């Protein structure tokens, strides 16, 4: 197994690419009707970031790129206890770095107005003005299914070598569903990076985009642990025992 330093760098790099690619599509291209990408294009951009990095570094770190996914895999017995906090820290660092790079590039356009800067929100900060309760519900449900799909497609018995495709498509679908509701999080790191640059009102709502995805992911991992036990979990337990020696 790769050393922890390489795993953490892979998680930071993967999360950077997710935020830079997905939020970058929203910041740079979605506002130009002539480009024609809209919600569909932004949704696809997020899916493509996960798909590409899953194949690039997934074999190094597991390809979480998301604190909620890390918690979900932990609850499924597929992430060692001592990896949880370092993974989450690396993911948040990558997201903040990506948001800072996006801000630097975007501000180079004369007259640029940041607006929401692809940040997540509910109520008045929701693209469709959806309530806090609606935002919380959609983030829990979609995070639940995202983790369940990740575990199912990477379990023994699933098609070998193809997990990145359904995972990327799942994230695309998640964005198609929930961009109007919360601008789609299902990823606390993705929410944190842009919020720090979008303004204090977005930072004040960050709690929801940590609590709801974490709760949904934890439940998804717990159900998947039962659904795919022992095939999905046995190998990870062996790895953990080796690392503990």
Tens-digit pLDDT profile for the chain (245 aa)? 789 999 999 999 999 999 999 999 999 876 666 666 788 999 999 999 999 999 999 999 999 999 999 999 999 999 999 999 999 999 999 999 999 999 999 999 888 888 899 999 999 999 999 999 999 999 999 999 999 999 999 988 777 788 999 999 999 999 999 999 999 999 999 999 999 999 999 999 999 999 999 999 999 999 999 998 654 443 444 444 434 44
CATH number of 83's domain: 1.20.1080.10
Contact 66/22 with Cβ under 8 angstroms?
no
Put simply, whether the predicted model's pTM sits higher than 0.85 gets the answer yes
- For 100, the 3-state DSSP assignment is helix
Kindly report, residue by residue over 52-95, the tens digit of the pLDDT.
999 999 999 999 999 999 999 999 999 999 999 999 999 999 99
Structure confidence at residue 37 (pLDDT): 79
Three-state DSSP state, 3: coil
Distances (CA, A) of 91 to 37, 44, 70, 141, 188: 27, 21, 10, 22, 9
pLDDT of residue 243: 46
> What's the sign of the alpha-carbon dihedral 41, 52, 231, 73?
negative
Number of domains the chain is built from: 1
Strand ranges, E, within the chain: none
Segments forming the whole domain that contains residue 51: 4-108+116-244
Rounded Cα–Cα distance for residues 214 and 144 (Å): 9
pLDDT of residue 31: 63
- Confidence (pLDDT) at 97: 98
**How many angstroms separate the CA atoms of 208 and 117, rounded?**
18
Residues 6+ apart with CB under 8 A from 87: 7, 8, 11, 61, 64, 67, 70, 79
Burial class of residue 245, CB neighbours in 10 A (0-12, 13-18, 19+): exposed
Beta bridge partners of 156: 158
Q: Give me the pLDDT at residue 241, please.
A: 45
- Distance CA(133)–CA(121), nearest Å, equals 12
Q: Residues 53, 14: contact at Cβ < 8 Å?
A: yes
Q: What is residue 237's predicted lDDT score, i.e. its pLDDT? A: 47
Tell me phi and psi for residue 156, to 5 degrees. Answer: -65, 135
Can you tell me the distance from the alpha carbon of 94 to that of 29, in angstroms, rounded to the nearest whole number? Answer: 22
Cβ neighbors of 159 (< 8 A, separation 6 or more) are 153
**pLDDT value for 244:** 43
């Amino acid at each position: 197994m790769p050393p922890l330093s390489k795993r953490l760098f892979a998680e930071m790099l993967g999360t950077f690419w997710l935020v830079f690619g997905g939020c970058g599509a929203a910041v740079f291209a979605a506002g130009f009707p002539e480009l024609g990408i809209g919600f569909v294009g932004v949704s696809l951009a997020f899916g493509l970031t996960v798909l590409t990095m899953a194949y690039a570094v997934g074999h190094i770190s597991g390809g979480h790129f998301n604190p909620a996914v890390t918690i979900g895999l932990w609850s499924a017995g597929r992430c060692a206890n001592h990896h949880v906090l370092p993974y989450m820290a690396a993911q948040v660092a990558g997201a903040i770095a990506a948001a800072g790079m996006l801000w630097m590039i975007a501000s180079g356009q004369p007259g640029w107005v940041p607006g929401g800067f692809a940040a997540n929100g509910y109520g008045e900060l929701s693209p469709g003005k959806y309530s806090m309760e609606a935002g919380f519900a959609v983030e829990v449900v979609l995070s639940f299914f995202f983790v369940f799909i990740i575990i199912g497609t990477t379990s023994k018995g699933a098609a070998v070598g193809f997990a990145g495709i359904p995972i990327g498509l799942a994230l695309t679908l998640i964005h198609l569903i929930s961009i109007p509701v919360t601008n789609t999080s299902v990823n606390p790191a993705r929410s944190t990076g842009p919020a720090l640059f979008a303004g204090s009102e977005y930072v004040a709502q960050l709690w929801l985009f940590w609590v709801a995805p974490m709760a949904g992911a934890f439940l998804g991992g717990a159900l998947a642990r039962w659904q795919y036990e022992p095939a999905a979990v046995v190998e990870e337990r062996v790895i953990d025992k080796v690392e503990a020696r």
